[in-house]
Structure formats: C-alpha cells, structure tokens
Structure 1
C-alpha cells in the first residue's frame, strides 16, 4: 500500500446520519500546531433538509421500496445538490473561499445497509449511500471524497462504524480505559482501552425510534430534552419484549440501521394498551439499557464515556445511561475539545484526508474487514 504524509489545511466534513434530521457540515483545520491533536473545528452548521425530500429518504432508509431506477437516480442528484448547498452555506458563514479548501469528505445519506450478518443472509452484502460526489465537486469546485463504506464491505467488513479511527486519534488516553458513545439514530461505541486494540460496534437504536414515535404522536421531529419520555413511565413488560430482539446479543462486529429498528418493529411488540408517553419512556430506557449492557459486556473496566451526536442534548437519555453505568464518568466530548454536535462530520473530513494520503480509514478489528483499506472515491475539482 502506497502511503504519504496527510495534507494539512482546511477540509469540510459532511454527514446526514440515520436520523436524517439535518446535514452536519464541519470546517476542520489539520496541521501541526493547530492543537494538541493537530485538529480543530473552525466552524460548523446544521442545514435542514427539505421536508418532502427528508420524508422520502427516511421511508427508504427504514425499508420502503423505491419507485424505480429513475427515483433512485433523481434522489442521488438531489442529495448531492443538498450537500453542496450545505458546503456553500458553511463557507459563506465562515468567510472562507472554496479555493482554500483541500477537499470535502461526504458520508452521503444511507438508504440501505445490508452487511453480512443475521439481519441479512444474502449472498452479496452491500451498503448504499447516495449523494453524488460528482455533483458536490462540480457545484462547489472542490475535490470531493465520498462513498467511504462500500470498500470495507467489499473486504468482508460491516462498513460501519467508520468513526473509531478518528476517535482513537483524538481521544485515546494512556491512563484510563475510555469509550466514545455516538448517539445518533443508531448508537455506537468506540472502545479505547488504555492498552490494547481499538474496537467498535453498533449497540442498537438511540434516537431513531424516539424521534419516530414522537413524530407519530406529537407531530414533532424529536423529543426536546426528553420531556415526552419523562411524562411517561417505563413499561417493564414491553421493555423485556423489546430487549428480546436477537440482534442485541450478536457479538461484534455488527452494525444496524432503520431497516431493522423502525416503528413496525415497535408496533409488533406492543400489547395494545400502552399509553403513548409510556412507550416513549420505554424506548428511551431501551436505548439506555442496550448501550449500558454492551459496554459492560465488552469493556467493563471503562472509567469514562465520552458522548457525541444528537442524543447528547437529551438530558433524560444521558441521565439513564449514567444511572446504568455508575462506575463511569459520562460526559460530552466537548470537555475534551471536540464539539459533540460535529464529531462525526469532523471524522469525515479526517477520512477524506486519509484517502487523499493513501492511508487506511477503517479499523479491521471494528468492522471485521480482512485488513486496513483506503476508503472512498475521489471526485476531482
């Protein structure tokens, strides 16, 4: 594998995760002397999706059928256009010229995630993120790296999570076992032992079910501050039925998405007499329980859990996770210099830098790939 030193300078990272609640765009500077880690967030914005486009993407992401190749092709370009607008908005707010950006790293929008495993037993595992990199490069005039996950899947991996390499570079400690917890639509851990290999895996739903249930019953896109959940009580019988899902006991490497955890999955486990508020409280407890159970099973000596993603702003969820992990300090990554709202977007800027430098972006012990791989496709400016 040919390697070279990573190029320093300004990069843009883009991601719209499982929740599809907006496009996170991060302007990131890399280089010696920038910070202790050589990485600094210069600016970040969250650009809302067009509501009709978001609704279609969410429906596809949780297993809905496309209306044909024409729709997929159109959506691919529409998502690329939306990502390009997010870049232009970010640079305008930051007062930075496109010519000063080394590259864009774009995660795209996942519409199907079918890696090898119990949730998919087909002969040809795949993952599919749309948002045409050609469109982003053309509209922005900036080299763009996209389609990061499929090379890992081709190498026998899950294609997810990909952020652990970035977490390890930025947040590893030589004096304590740590875990980085991303609370997006799906929750995932990066395990950073004081000594030993980095590991990581999805644990199950974080915000995806909470958001979907809140939208159904409150007409609101998310449960602000966990107030809806706090108005109900955990239904222990329902929680037991939810936790009985076999996926939760699968060993890593594993990953998941809306295809597995969606409202039809919840509805199939309801008794029929539960109040909407009690279901919301139970779904929150499900997220907390699966996170805590996974950490205790795979790195029980963890002393610090560093939280990022949208769920970090849900105090009810954070409180329940902390209650289930009484021997851990649970705190936002902000405390350690990484804005919790933009960690994943920053990671895709970092991954673009890895790609352009012909350096691997995956961690085989995390994804299960046959070895380290340079990820992504480069679309020149």
Structure 2
C-alpha cells in the first residue's frame, strides 16, 4: 500500500506530510498468501513540511488559549485546515507523480481535556471530507478518540512506532554482532532506551527488554519557548530560531525552581498534557513574581525547564540512550542543555542517526503506520502506552470516490518496522 500521513503538532506552525510505501514480509516459513507479516518494510517516497498561512496559524493559536471562543471560529478552522491539508497533499502527490491508496490525517488538536489524570475529551480539527473529495481516496482521521473512550490518554500514540523501529534495530545489531562481541552486545541490549519527540509538548517512549513499553508526555518542549520567542521578536518569529534567543540569556535558578513545582511532573505514567496547561497565562503566573527578569533570561530559563524535565523523566527509568526527533532538535541551545542534563553516561542521538528516519517526518510516518494497521483490522494502541482498558483499532474512515472496501483482517501486528532506502 501507498499511504500518506499528515501531522499537525502542538506547535501549530504547519503541516508535516509523508507518502510511504508499506511492504509486508510474510511470516518466515509460511506458504500462505497474505499471511500475517512479522516485518513491515516501509519506504518513504516523498516528504514535505508546509507552513500554515499567517491567518490560519493565528486562528489555531487562538483556539489553543484557555479562553472562550466563538463556535464560528472552531467551524471555520475545521474547514480551512481540511482544505489546506487537501491542497498541500495534492501538490506533493503531483510533484512526485504519486497517488496514495489511503490518507491518514491527524488534524490539529485544539482540546485535550484532563480531569484527575483522566482524559475526558480530545478534539482534532481539519475536516477529512475535503481531503477525500480532492484526492478521491479514503481518509482515516480522529485517531485518538477510541483510545480515550476506552479509558486511555489518547496520547502519546507514537510509542507503537518507536517499539517497532527499535525491535528492528535490535535485530539488525544482533545479526551484525560477531561472537567476540556477543557479551557486550547482550549487555547493551538490556539497557532501557528512550525515544523522544520534541514538539510543542515533549513525549518519550521507554523501551527495555522483557518489559512492556511505557510512553508519556514529560511536559513542555517548545510550548513555553515559542510564547516568549513571539514576545521578544514582536511576533516576527514563532520559535527560537537556532536557539539564539535563549543563548543570549542566563538561566534564573529561582524561577526554574518555581517552574519545577508544577504537580504534573510528578504524576506517574501513563499521562498526557497539552497547551490546556502550558499556555501564556500559565507562564505569566510565574513570571509576575520576577518582574525584573529580562526576556532573554526568561527564555533561557524555560529552555532549561524543558531539558531538566526530560532528563529527570529519563533518569526515573534508568535510560542510557535518548533518541530525539521533532522541531526541538533544530534548537542547538535546547539540545546542548539537554545533553548536559542527561550527563555523560547517557547517549543523546537522533532518529536520523539511529534509524535513518528524518526527525521531521517521524510523526507523519506514525500516521501512515496507523492507517496501515487500521486498514488491516489491527490495533494501533497498547494499554502500557496509553493506559486504556485494552488495545484498540484507531480512527474512523471517510470513503473516497467509491465504496469503502477493506481487505480481510490480519490477526496480529508485525513485530518490526524496517526502513528501506
């Protein structure tokens, strides 16, 4: 199958698109056509980041603030983002002469409501009907709600992709290791690894041998940094380009200590959060007690907050390797501070280096993977990752030009995801 994955994250700055080809390898030793694959090979055929126009971006950011908004704005953003996604994907398909069999659109999360640690509702905008109408192919959307209905957090969903990628990487390492290195390879394989995404919110998946994977949001990644970047530059920058703003400041330890008192950081996994908590008014409630602190010192301090909370989460799980992706990896100051916080005994690397997967394409590829799983009747969530009562098939389908015709369901998920050149 050729599947397009579309992702808009909590930074709300644009749309990530991936078109990927999925090639299932039949179960080893099986002569049955269509047997459940043990390894799923994926080849990225095209990828792109398309920034939102200024008006759409501003309206999305308005929806993310904890204030009453007119229902007309919600409806308008839903339709405009759907049309924007349809146009962006149509252009990518045209540029590469591709036509996907399926599109998976995450949409923009504008609400992720939590009460006493339980997600009560989640809402993503970006009407999928516009994509189905423009491209004439089925669209999978609303990929979080079923997990929430089953008592789960509905986030982060990327843990499944992380597990499959690491399983394939571990098998490749074992195959390449010679007898003389077998003991060292086995020792390395027992160390927990964290796969980290640095979007508006930071989330990690912790994977260790003989244990169920664990995934959770650690707290803000770029959410608070972006707020201060817009203030410092009078709106000309929506993020701290190259980390230059934070690098020009000094971390205020008193403010950092106060920010670290946020109760969310001490909650056990599984847990999730969003801009419903980490927003401008929240940040200002701390900054008001430090009126003489300069703007560059403020952004340096919230950058340090991101690094500290991620590192502390990793330490709680005895992580020895952190594999990072997401927009935050393009912030050298954030990555420098994260490396310092993790310490010399923890390796900090990227999905580009560890898997050959471009950091900006990972979550869009996740959407495509969820589409392949749902299309074949396979679960896209796990209780250890989201806290739901059981695994669930993700999303709902909008038909394309013709009737929706799903294949005969498979019986079990692949154990590995292999990236092909």
TM-score by length of structure 1 reads 0.92
2:7 to 11, 15, 19: 15
User: How big is the shift at 1:32?
Assistant: 4.1
Q: Does 1:192 align with 2:207?
A: yes
Provide the C-alpha distance between the structure 1 equivalents of 2:96 and 2:321, rounded to a whole number of angstroms. 33
In the other structure, the counterpart of 2:352 is 334
Provide the C-alpha distance between the structure 2 equivalents of 1:63 and 1:352, rounded to a whole number of angstroms. 32
1:26 is paired with a residue of what secondary structure? strand
1:31 is paired with a residue of what secondary structure? strand
In the other structure, the counterpart of 2:414 is none
Larger Rg: 2
Provide the C-alpha distance between the structure 1 equivalents of 2:327 and 2:40, rounded to a whole number of angstroms. 24
Q: Does 1:74 align with 2:76?
A: yes
Spell out, residue by residue over 1:314-371, the C-alpha distance to the aligned partner (whole angstroms, 9 max, x if none). 1111111111112111111001211111100000000011111111111211111100
Spell out, residue by residue over 1:58-113, the C-alpha distance to the aligned partner (whole angstroms, 9 max, x if none). 12123232212x332222111111111121122122221x2xx1201111001100
Alignment check: 8 A CA contact 1:37 1:169 kept: no
User: How big is the shift at 1:195?
Assistant: 2.7
In the other structure, the counterpart of 1:295 is 314
User: How big is the shift at 1:42?
Assistant: 1.8
Provide the C-alpha distance between the structure 2 equivalents of 1:30 and 1:115, rounded to a whole number of angstroms. 35
Provide the C-alpha distance between the structure 2 equivalents of 1:342 and 1:116, rounded to a whole number of angstroms. 32
User: How big is the shift at 1:303?
Assistant: 2.1
Instruction: Give the aligned CA root-mean-square deviation in angstroms.
Output: 1.5
User: How big is the shift at 1:202?
Assistant: 0.1
TM-score by length of structure 2 reads 0.83
Spell out, residue by residue over 1:128-151, the C-alpha distance to the aligned partner (whole angstroms, 9 max, x if none). 001111221112212100000111
In the other structure, the counterpart of 1:183 is 198
Task: Give 5+ residue unaligned stretches, structure 2.
Answer: 26-38, 171-188, 401-421
2:338 is paired with a residue of what secondary structure? helix
In the other structure, the counterpart of 1:350 is 369
Spell out, residue by residue over 1:288-311, the C-alpha distance to the aligned partner (whole angstroms, 9 max, x if none). 0010011111x11x2221101001
1:214 to 229, 249, 252: 229
User: How big is the shift at 1:116?
Assistant: 4.3
Task: Give 5+ residue unaligned stretches, structure 1.
Answer: 1-8
Alignment check: 8 A CA contact 2:201 2:222 kept: yes
Provide the C-alpha distance between the structure 1 equivalents of 2:135 and 2:228, rounded to a whole number of angstroms. 37
1:131 to 123, 126, 135: 126
1:162 is paired with a residue of what secondary structure? coil
User: How big is the shift at 1:37?
Assistant: 5.6
Alignment check: 8 A CA contact 2:59 2:77 kept: no
In the other structure, the counterpart of 1:256 is 273
Alignment check: 8 A CA contact 1:115 1:157 kept: no
User: How big is the shift at 1:379?
Assistant: 0.7
In the other structure, the counterpart of 1:372 is 391
In the other structure, the counterpart of 2:412 is none
In the other structure, the counterpart of 1:170 is 165
For the structure 1 residues 82 and 321, does the alpha-carbon distance in structure 2 shift closer, same or farther, using more than 3 Å as the test?
Answer: same
2:304 to 285, 289, 292: 285
In the other structure, the counterpart of 1:150 is 145
In the other structure, the counterpart of 1:3 is none
Alignment check: 8 A CA contact 1:238 1:282 kept: yes
Provide the C-alpha distance between the structure 2 equivalents of 1:89 and 1:136, rounded to a whole number of angstroms. 12
Stretch deviating more after TM superposition (127-136 or 283-292): 127-136
In the other structure, the counterpart of 2:20 is 28
In the other structure, the counterpart of 1:4 is none
1:114 is paired with a residue of what secondary structure? strand
How many equivalent pairs are there?
Answer: 361
2:381 is paired with a residue of what secondary structure? coil
Alignment check: 8 A CA contact 2:63 2:74 kept: no
Provide the C-alpha distance between the structure 1 equivalents of 2:243 and 2:224, rounded to a whole number of angstroms. 13
